[in-house]
Amino acid sequence: MHNISKSYPAVKANDQISLSVQPGEIHAILGENGAGKSTLMKIIYGVIKPDSGTMAWDGREVQVQSPAAARALGVGMVFQHFSLFDTLTVVENIALGLSAGTDMIELETRIAQTVEQYGLELEPRRHVHTLSVGERQRVEIVRALLGQPRLLILDEPTSVLTPQAVLRLFDTLRRLAAEGCSILYISHKLDEIHSLCHTCTVMRAGKVTGVCDPRQETEASLSRMMIGAELPAVERSAHAPGDEVLGVRGLTVARAHPFAMPLDNVSLSVCAGEILGVAGVSGNGQQELMGLLSGEDLRTATDTICFAGQAVGRRPASWRRAHGLAFVPEERLGRGAVPELSLARNILLSHQDHETVRSGFVRESKVRSLAAQIIERFRVKAPGPHALAGSLSGGNLQKYIVGREVIRRPRLLLIAQPTWGVDVGAAAQIRGELLALRDAGCAILLISEELDELFGVSDRLVVMAKGRVSPSIDIAQATREQVGQWMSGLWPQAQDREAAHA
């Protein structure tokens, strides 16, 4: 790529970007949220067209007009924001990227083989609307690998994998590279880039600010190149928890649909001024648990869930929010935020009190003011409260959604994958805000597949596996090896029985 530029009305996403990738090279693209990484990748994949600049493939100048044209060249891409049809099955979604005469039975077999080879755990006949975010990303990864690409673009590919599965994926990527496949690898995990990639191009504010061999750099030096400053420190101080805010006792719920994960005798508690971390591979019941705790799913007995001393199993989401519950779902677009609405209007998804709505009328000035406060406090890169939610990069939208819930000063915060796809600087800020909220007395239930995140901010940990929850363990006693083993459902059965009867 030579002097690629792309502008939008409010921002210059790419400014004279030049990039070269060699055969068999694993090439990292590193940068803060909003640095222009995804825009550049979409230009390579033919999703959008550059305003200026040229691209050459095998030394011959090409103009990639569409993703189909990119795939014909041999380019595969796994998007951070998925491009899947909810009402189709996994195999049907994958077939859309293949020729019209594809044998569906043969394709299903190939998918099953690929899933088994890479340990991605995916059922080909499931409808996409029944999948968690992590499972949807696995669909994208499998679809890309089935195309046998010569250039594979991966945008945050490991955010949904266990540490063991990450190692298997890295082995696969190294094998692909050894066979001549080039890989463009976008990740905010500096340790991954340091251990996996041969070359790293650093972007900041739409420009290339450096190219290096990440194997010769430290994580600290890579961080400085990316954000232009030292990484903000996040310190977790000792904090005595208060009274129980959330209590779950013997929660057992059948499947909501054939591919859902039933919950089996789930028991846990979260106290005021405490962060309870929930570890586990995506698709093991986390989505179902969040639906029940948030009030979206009312298929449980009243007394199985207690919030602030009241039995709330049948209380709707609106009641729980009015009494101090805040919720950050794992799906940003379409659930955490409405993409076609402005940031100001998205405030109303969770702020519907006398300050924002009076006598049925929206107080526009107050809503805009709240949106502006979030943009400033959480350093969201957006032109203002009028910007559409769908126009923000994934990381900036995540910062806005987290900020929208944090400024409510809730009694209980349910939050899933808070820093998924967020750069290291923004991730440190979000984790700092969660710790400050904890210190102010909020009870926080944090679901994450980032073990470093869970170990960095949690006071206690539980693990979800196959719809069950392990005994809790104090973070000071937990080890990554132990948590990794528990992710397979292998925790001490005696303790498990004691927790079930607690």
Q: What is the DSSP string of 363-376?
A: -HHHHHHHHHHHHH
| Residue 160 confidence (pLDDT) | 57
Please tell me the distance from the alpha carbon of residue 378 to that of residue 376, in angstroms, as a whole number: 6
Query: Where do the H-state alpha helices sit in 46-103?
Result: 67-73, 90-95
Residue identified by tokens 């405490």 is 274
Per-residue CA distances from 333 to 12, 48, 303, 467, 472 (Å): 23, 20, 33, 26, 32
Residue 251 near residue 266, CB atoms below 8 Å: yes
- 449, two tokens: 């597949």
Please tell me the distance from the alpha carbon of residue 467 to that of residue 199, in angstroms, as a whole number: 41
| Residue 502 confidence (pLDDT) | 47
Return the HEC string of 98-151. Answer: CCCCCCHHHHHHHHHHHHHHHCCCCCCCCEHHHCCHHHHHHHHHHHHHHCCCCE
Residue 450 near residue 277, CB atoms below 8 Å: no
| Residue 347 confidence (pLDDT) | 94
> In CATH terms, are 2-227 and 233-324+410-502 the same topology?
yes
| Angle formed at CA 81 by CA 77 and CA 85, multiple of 5 degrees | 90
Please tell me the distance from the alpha carbon of residue 34 to that of residue 380, in angstroms, as a whole number: 9
The fold of the 233-324+410-502 domain, in CATH, is Rossmann fold (3.40.50)
| Residue 445 confidence (pLDDT) | 98
| pLDDT tens-digit readout, 205-249 | 899 988 999 989 887 788 788 877 666 666 777 778 999 999 999
Mention every residue, 6+ apart, whose C-beta is less than 8 A from residue 436: none
Q: Which of 347, 358, 333 is nearest to 386 (CA)?
A: 347
- 172, two tokens: 């696969």
pLDDT in tens, the chain (502 residues): 999 999 987 788 999 999 999 999 999 998 887 788 889 999 999 999 999 999 999 999 999 999 989 988 999 988 766 778 889 999 999 998 777 788 899 999 999 988 887 767 788 999 998 887 667 878 888 888 887 889 999 987 776 565 666 777 788 788 889 889 999 998 877 888 888 999 999 998 899 988 999 989 887 788 788 877 666 666 777 778 999 999 999 999 999 888 789 999 999 999 999 999 999 987 899 999 999 999 999 999 999 999 989 999 999 999 999 999 999 998 888 889 999 999 999 999 988 887 888 888 988 999 999 999 999 999 898 889 999 998 887 778 999 999 999 999 999 999 998 987 677 778 888 999 999 999 999 999 999 988 888 999 999 999 999 999 999 999 999 998 889 889 888 888 634 444 544 4
Long-range CB contacts (< 8 A, 24+ apart) of 488-492? 489/465, 491/463
Strands 182-186 and 151-155: parallel
Residue 444 β-bridge partners: 275, 413
Please tell me the distance from the alpha carbon of residue 283 to that of residue 147, in angstroms, as a whole number: 25
| Residue 325 confidence (pLDDT) | 96
Determine whether 232 is exposed, middle or buried from the number of CB atoms within 10 Å of its CB (0-12, 13-18, 19+).
middle
Please tell me the distance from the alpha carbon of residue 395 to that of residue 173, in angstroms, as a whole number: 25
Number of helices (H), then strands (E), in the chain:
17, 23
User: Structural domain boundaries of the chain?
Assistant: 2-227, 233-324+410-502, 336-408
- 400, two tokens: 């806005």
Q: Which of 236, 160, 264 is nearest to 474 (CA)?
A: 236
Of the CA atoms within 13 Å of residue 454, those in its CB half-sphere come to 26
| Residue 496 confidence (pLDDT) | 47
- 8 φ/ψ angles, rounded to the nearest 5 degrees: -120, 170
Mention every residue, 6+ apart, whose C-beta is less than 8 A from residue 103: none
| Residue 107 confidence (pLDDT) | 92
The fold of the 2-227 domain, in CATH, is Rossmann fold (3.40.50)
